Amino acid sequence: MFDKILIANRGEIACRIIRTARRLGVATVAVCSDADADALHVRMADEAVRIGPAAARDSYLRHDAVIAACQRTGAQAVHPGYGFLSENAEFAEACAAAGITFIGPPPAAIRAMGSKSESKRIMESAGVPLVPGYHGSDQDDATLSRAADDIGYPVLVKASAGGGGKGMRIVRAAADLPEALAGARREACAAFGDDTMLIEKLLERPRHVEMQVFGDSHGNYVHLFERDCSLQRRHQKVIEEAPAPGLPEDVRARLGEAAIAAAHAVGYVGAGTVEFLYQDGAFFFIEMNTRLQVEHPVTEMITGQDLVEWQLGVAAGGTLPCAQADLAVRGHAFEARIYAEDPERDFLPSTGRIHHLRTPPETEGLRIDSGIVEGDAVSIHYDPMIAKLVVWGPDRAAALHRLRAALAGYQIVGPATNLAFLSRVAAHPAFARAALTTHFIDNHRDALVPVRAGASDAVLALAVLDLLEHARQEAAAQARAGADPSSPWHLATGWRMNGHAFRAFTFLDGEARHRVGVRFGPDAYTLDLPGGRCTARAARASDGDLVAELDGQRLQATVVCHDGNRRSVFHAGRAHLLLLDEPGAAGPGTGAASGSLSAPMPGLVTQVSVAVGDKVTSGQALMVLEAMKMEHTITAPLDGTVTEVNFAAGSQVGDGDVLLSVAAAAETA
């Protein structure tokens, strides 16, 4: 076994590899870009080397910098994780030339399987069924068009060097082929520097079923069963599970044989995944990935094996730790990928600082792989995955139950996330029935991405009670700090905010506006909510959660203040975003003065429409910020006067920078 390895990656996969290495007594070296200098993977590793600026091509993708970091720290081997350099044969060769072990397959196997066309030729001669298609070297439009006619429309045009769904186009009619080819070639050229195309029959309702294989340098091969990765958006996986539900035993056995034949055919060593589409009882090879996959934890959960431990052992020259007969499936596992992305905007990646992060507690049946902690930012430079939530249960129904509960207990405030979307998938009856195809998300889009539901009375009540509790606690703290320790402000009962017996709060909830009236009674509040009146009490739990009683019913919520006057209310497994529309009542803990507006993400100020002293009305556009190629308009939160403009057009601003301030009309009158 190695004494020290370097992990040429970042985020959750770097952290996950470090955990296994540490357990085995192997020292670890992290590499990082300037953007990741304080990242979790850097803090977890025994040593770290900074290898370049934020952009991956200047840091994580630099062969020379990674190899130099190994030499400088004495790391004997490099684990590439997934993505970045993991399927780069030249990098694997450069490691070998420098006397460093590449923890992965031989360069020749990476090369053979890195090309979808070449891998199909290899699999065809190994007798493995392929999706009907063309994978020849003749690439002119006329040949490809004839091939598509022979295959029969609809077809799928794919980049041979492809990955991550790039360079892929569905074509339903011959007339659309030239344009699709041109677009796919452009995309493939930009992403992979290779525009070789292949054409496949488009299967209309396939499942994506893949086999985990492993080989060692002594000619031993095993498979570790299959994963079903049919739950995809934009041809990319979001929820995976193992084993594939309802897969007949004979199909499982034949898939295993085909996958091992694939590994054999290229002299495979290490962890690999052979991907198939499965439809109407038949399966077809699509590609082999020559690395550890993102979704490997579900295989670990059902087999009880640690695949990174296997990778290290095999790379160090060891034999596979067990034979096929020793491996068995136990129970069922799901992985849900939690992404910073917006399902309502076609899953567009989002960025920004994670202001608040709370995760369900990890247990034997619940694992969270993440490289992000509260306060970190999801940046434009890297993959927007925040975490992988992995659950195990004795059967699929039990595992699904755990998945739902775990998703309900996950709280993130900051960038848009797919958490609510994942919860809806996990709760969908068709998902529970395992009626899976790769079109599941598209077919059920209306149920999975519904229009935002308005805040319920309970949510509004919780938001108001949280504000009242904050104000009450602050008043009590001030009284304690003041001269009169026996001040009546210490008393929770009969407390009145600013001496009022009545107060009203207004919240903006998407397009809607809700007003909640509060009457302060001797031992309870009376709330006037849109749906009627209720009696309410509030207190704090030790973890800061709000414990409320509404007409005798006990409710619990986490309420997070962020970005000035926004409130994220987590209640009953759901998150609701409200904007407090109350001059001067931004509430404590926001860190921002009344009416001050901060940048939602780093960006460029492209327009400033107001100057200090200007009178503005609530909702008026004040400034335009450009970030991630999109425009964000900063609007006035209230009627008033601009008191501060901190940036001019052309300025670069950081996440959270105070851009401008508006004083409420009443304050400036």
- Tell me the catalytic residues: 291
User: Other CB atoms closer than 10 Å to residue 74's CB: what's the count?
Assistant: 12
My answer on whether omega of the bond before 243 falls inside 30° of 0, hence cis, is yes
Distance CA 545, CA 562 (A): 16
Q: What phi and psi, each to the nearest 5 degrees, are found at residue 438?
A: -70, -10
Nearest approach in angstroms of CB 162 to ligand ADP is 4
Q: Are 255 and 276 in contact (CB under 8 A)?
A: yes
Distance CA 460, CA 540 (A): 17
Phi-psi region of 414 (alpha: psi -120 to 50; beta: other; left: phi over 0): left
The binding site for ligand ADP (CB under 6 A) comprises 131, 156, 158, 162-165, 168, 200-203, 206, 208, 232, 235, 275, 277, 286-287, 438
User: Which contiguous run of DSSP H or E holds residue 442?
Assistant: helix 440-443
The C-alpha angle 131, 132, 136, rounded to 5 degrees, equals 105
Q: Are 660 and 596 in contact (CB under 8 A)?
A: yes
Q: Which is nearer to ligand ADP, 31 or 184 (CB)?
A: 184
Nearest approach in angstroms of CB 411 to ligand ADP is 31
- Taking alpha carbons only, the member of 438, 59, 414 closest to residue 286 is 438
SS3 217: coil
Q: How many CA atoms lie within 13 A of 194 on its CB side?
A: 15
Output helix, strand, coil percentages for the chain, rounded to the nearest 5.
30, 35, 35
Q: Which one-letter amino acid corresponds to residue 182? A: A
With CB atoms as reference, the residue minimizing the distance to ligand ADP is: 438
User: Other CB atoms closer than 10 Å to residue 356's CB: what's the count?
Assistant: 17
- Taking alpha carbons only, the member of 64, 62, 2 closest to residue 29 is 2
Distance CA 647, CA 634 (A): 13
Nearest approach in angstroms of CB 279 to ligand ADP is 9
CA 265 to each of CA 15, 222, 310: distance values in angstroms, whole numbers, following the listed order: 33, 14, 21
For the record, the structure tokens of 177 come out as 């082929």
Q: Burial code of 25-37, b = ≥16 C-beta within 10 A, e = fewer?
A: ebbbbbbbbebbe
Q: Which is nearer to ligand ADP, 288 or 333 (CB)?
A: 288
